[in-house]
Structure 1
Amino acid sequence: MTTWRIRDFHPSDLDGILHLWGAMTASGIEPVYSLSEVLASCQADYAAVALHGDDVIGAAVARAAHEQGWIVFLATLPEWRSRGIGTALLSALEHRMAPLGLTKLSALMPDTETRVDAFLNRGFKDVKNLRFFERQIPVQRAELGPLAQLGGRVLPRDLWENVAGMRREKQLLERRLVLPLAEAELADEFGVVPPRAVVLFGPPGTGKTTFAKAIASRLEWPFVEVFPSRLAGDSEGLAGALRRTFTEIAELEHAVVFLDEVEEIASHRAGDPPSPMQGVTNELLKIIPAFREQSGRLLVCATNFIRALDSAFLRHGRFDYVVPIGLPDAEARSAMWQRFIPEAVLGNVDVDQLVARTEGFSPADIEFAARSASQRALEKAVYAPDGGASAAADGGATAAADGWASAAADGGEVPAVSDLAGGRPTGTGANGRRGPSTEDYLEAIAETKTTVSEEVAAAFLEDIEQLARV
């Protein structure tokens, strides 16, 4: 006589599910779905339990996705196996899900699972030559609301690889920041405390914001940028708005929090009586220790003027590292040029010459020069019948611009774009070449004003000696 029965899952059965889960894992079986997923599906999707008296001795849980159903959990206590309970549970699930009109019911089971007969008895096929792939989604559903309210986002996963060159800086950040945060358990074995806050400093345009985003991308953590200028108009004042913002950030499981141009709210405190901005600095100095107590978070502050920061701000215990981000070296400049030059003409451009001519250029300077070269090459190809050589030689583009300015100043009519070429655009130069040449790039480089002066570059080297902490 059958001494067990099958019924729908009741909330009171949760302890029984936990007992089944513990018995499964104790026997060396690692379930495919997590316990939280199984419990969620018990209450929101489809679940059946096997009872002996009032005790749960088996359970099957499933969910539906479009026209396919998935078995996410099937377990029976060891002493109750080989009695047809698993087959009966699968039959009960299939019956309950029949109104959905599913075309397929599937299951993913670990290699160590012994419940194969239960599936075969219900007509499931053991499909060979399949591999199971999965990846964890970094932001849970419950976090989406708070993240959106903060203006945060999950960045593409390839930003780290897209940081051209800068090998020295990338290696330093990878080892000091990413490694202990991504491998927290391993770091703990070695007694390494994962970093909680870091300052990136360097001249303008050297890629500090890019690195902050790349760190978030590498960790697959949400990126939240805090804009003090936007918080300044808050009814609570900037200090109160900062405090509330960091309280909201605490609701996220993981986050890379970015404060750019932090010197604006953490500059040297001076004067009597204290200014309102000193109150903001004081508040920020209080926020950082509290922020450091929360795991799974990293505060990245960036500044162009590290000397302007209050001395207490950089004190040990607030920031784990103070990392210099300088101008790109030759390798980095080469990688940047190769990224910006169109692939169709890359083989015909003397990249080494461009690299040599852009020493002292920031990444932003190189990008500007590359875009400028592409623009001038496009204009030559489209509007100059001879390929644009004469226009480049005699400053035709400048003359055209002067013509527009004169016409506008005299109240006359600005000439149409097609008139500047003396007729319909040709689309290419006389030589049929499409895309910028080495000469185009060199001309653009010569006309680009660099962001970082020699004086600023020299001061940066002094700052590395005096303030860097890596």
Structure 2
Amino acid sequence: MSVWRIRDFHSDDLDGILHLWEELTALKIDPVYGLSEVLASCEKDQAVVAMHGDEVIGAAVGRAAHAQGWIVFLTTAQRWQNQGIGTAMLGALEKRMAPFGLAKLSALLPESASRVDAFVNRGFEVKKNLRYFERHIPVQREELRSLAELGGRMLPRDLWEGVGGMQREKELLERRLVMPLAKPEMADQYGVVPPKAVVLFGPPGTGKTTFAKAIASRLDWPFVEVFPSRLAADPKGLAGALRETFLKVSELEHVVVFIDEVEEIAAQRGGEPPSALQGVTNELLKIIPAFREQPGRLLVCATNFIRALDSALLRHGRFDYVVPIGLPDVAARHAIWERYIPAGVTGLVDLDVLVSSSEGFSPADVEYAARRASQEALERALFDSVDAAAPANPAGSAAPAGPTTEDYLSAIRSTRTTVSAQVAAEFLEDIERLARL
């Protein structure tokens, strides 16, 4: 073949490197560094190319970090293999990086990479018993300002596991929402369109906000909560502030947007004269289709009164799923009670009795009863006499400090449940009529 040569990278070489990348990935070789990283390093770090005439037939890209250097990309066009081009490019790249005073030059290769001659020829050694770990940072530096302006944040990564019980709801949300969004390439392979919007509905205090946050945590996406009451104070008006908020949201690569009590801005339209909120509902109905056109985002709306929502909002094409979130089941109540019982009395409190006695309680009701029992036990310990406060103890040892089973049962008996029998019955009717799973 004709003579090839090695030279420094020029910006005009980007098309050639793209061609080399496409050739590499066509061979089912997935480079360790992404294309955007490789192209950025070409411009900002160190890179050399192999040329045949005006054609780029190979590229080597490196990055220096203190005394450690990394080979970000190395490849040679298929028809130019076995001519020492890779070895020559590595040599030229190492020479370019010499002024950085590197003590070590390393390379990470995918398991599918079979051609390692260039590295061996340049004196690289294969390191055994190493494992490569990688984590993508969900919010890039340029997105931080937008996220801060929206009052958004990254949530702890363990919120999904922290939702105790509610297995049916968790499994449904995992299958319908989380997996298609977390694995979009696989979803596309099966013809599944990742969801863009979902409504969570159910009685007050049943954990809809908890589920919305858990979904963001599970996806490792930023969480932005939209508060209609705050937007209403904006000089632009509620509709204008809502529109501007979603424009700002579009600057984020990934995001879960949460609107609680969405009925405040999407109530049933009608009546004469028209309500001032009808314009806000109209604005939201226009925002959702535009939001759905953007990849990597999910709108979660929650409501305690799904019957109050405008019927146009729930039509197909706006929300993919309408998911009921009801009162916690036995396993969920057990997990919630467990969360509030102090470590000092764990094992001494009869959890099964508390769980059975609190049927019909929402998570908020359980929390209220648990905190009330703890408060009353503390007050008894502080203000009652020692003899009156100390429970009988046949063994003669000091009783552990903390609430007893009876304290919790007393608090349960005095707790007024959030969800009445009528509301619970209406919720079951709403599931039949409006749920879309």
Query: Are residues 1:121 and 2:121 paired?
Result: yes
Q: Distance in 1 between matches of 2:101 and 2:295?
A: 45
- Residues 1:112 and 1:219: Cα distance change in structure 2 (over 3 Å): closer
Query: Are residues 1:444 and 2:385 paired?
Result: no
Partner of 1:248: 248
Q: Distance in 1 between matches of 2:374 and 2:256?
A: 35
SS of the aligned residue for 1:198 comes to: strand
SS of the aligned residue for 2:171 comes to: helix
Q: Distance in 2 between matches of 1:117 and 1:110?
A: 15
Q: Deviations over 1:200-219 (max 9, x none)?
A: 11111110101111122222
| 1:270 to partner: Cα distance | 3.1
SS of the aligned residue for 1:71 comes to: strand
SS of the aligned residue for 1:276 comes to: coil
Is the contact made by 1:385 and 1:430 (CA closer than 8 Å) also made in structure 2? no
Partner of 2:287: 287
- Residues 1:278 and 1:27: Cα distance change in structure 2 (over 3 Å): closer
- Residues 1:277 and 1:81: Cα distance change in structure 2 (over 3 Å): same
Which residues of 2 match residues 93-104 of structure 1 at below 5 A?
93-104=93-104
| 1:79 to partner: Cα distance | 4.0
- Residues 1:29 and 1:449: Cα distance change in structure 2 (over 3 Å): same
Q: Deviations over 1:4-39 (max 9, x none)?
A: 443321111112212322333344433221211111
| 1:41 to partner: Cα distance | 0.8
| 1:73 to partner: Cα distance | 0.6
SS of the aligned residue for 2:311 comes to: coil
- Residues 1:430 and 1:372: Cα distance change in structure 2 (over 3 Å): farther
The unaligned stretches of length 5 or more in structure 1 are 394-428
Q: Distance in 2 between matches of 1:42 and 1:388?
A: 78
Q: Distance in 2 between matches of 1:297 and 1:27?
A: 32
| 1:151 to partner: Cα distance | 2.0
Query: Are residues 1:353 and 2:320 paired?
Result: no
1:297 partner amino acid:
R
Q: Deviations over 1:231-262 (max 9, x none)?
A: 11223211111112222222333322111111
| 1:380 to partner: Cα distance | 4.8
Partner of 1:342: 342
2:428 partner amino acid:
L
Partner of 2:166: 166
Q: Deviations over 1:344-368 (max 9, x none)?
A: 5322221000101111111112122
Report the TM-score, using the length of structure 2 for normalisation. 0.89
Is the contact made by 1:387 and 1:430 (CA closer than 8 Å) also made in structure 2? no
| 1:387 to partner: Cα distance | 7.5
- Residues 1:37 and 1:450: Cα distance change in structure 2 (over 3 Å): same
Is the contact made by 1:380 and 1:387 (CA closer than 8 Å) also made in structure 2? no
Is the contact made by 1:231 and 1:242 (CA closer than 8 Å) also made in structure 2? yes
- Residues 1:449 and 1:430: Cα distance change in structure 2 (over 3 Å): farther
1:69 partner amino acid:
G
- Residues 1:117 and 1:384: Cα distance change in structure 2 (over 3 Å): farther
Is the contact made by 1:86 and 1:115 (CA closer than 8 Å) also made in structure 2? no
Is the contact made by 2:202 and 2:324 (CA closer than 8 Å) also made in structure 1? yes
Query: Are residues 1:461 and 2:435 paired?
Result: no
Q: Distance in 2 between matches of 1:315 and 1:112?
A: 47
- Residues 1:105 and 1:260: Cα distance change in structure 2 (over 3 Å): same
Q: Which moved more, 1:217-226 or 1:326-335?
A: 217-226
Partner of 1:155: 155
CA-based RMSD of the aligned residues comes to: 2.8
List structure 1 runs of 4+ shifted beyond 6 angstroms.
none
SS of the aligned residue for 2:132 comes to: coil
Is the contact made by 2:381 and 2:389 (CA closer than 8 Å) also made in structure 1? no
Q: Deviations over 1:442-466 (max 9, x none)?
A: 2332333322233332332333233
Report the TM-score, using the length of structure 1 for normalisation. 0.83
| 1:330 to partner: Cα distance | 1.4
Is the contact made by 2:328 and 2:361 (CA closer than 8 Å) also made in structure 1? yes
Whichever of the two has the greater Rg, that structure is 1
Which residues of 2 match residues 69-468 of structure 1 at below 5 A?
69-381=69-381, 386=386, 389=389, 431=398, 433-468=400-435
Q: Distance in 2 between matches of 1:430 and 1:380?
A: 19
In the alignment of these two chains, the number of paired residues is: 433
- Residues 1:273 and 1:17: Cα distance change in structure 2 (over 3 Å): same
Q: Distance in 1 between matches of 2:38 and 2:148?
A: 28
Partner of 2:9: 9
Partner of 1:426: none
- Residues 1:67 and 1:373: Cα distance change in structure 2 (over 3 Å): farther
- Residues 1:196 and 1:26: Cα distance change in structure 2 (over 3 Å): closer
- Residues 1:121 and 1:186: Cα distance change in structure 2 (over 3 Å): closer
Q: Which moved more, 1:452-461 or 1:381-390?
A: 381-390
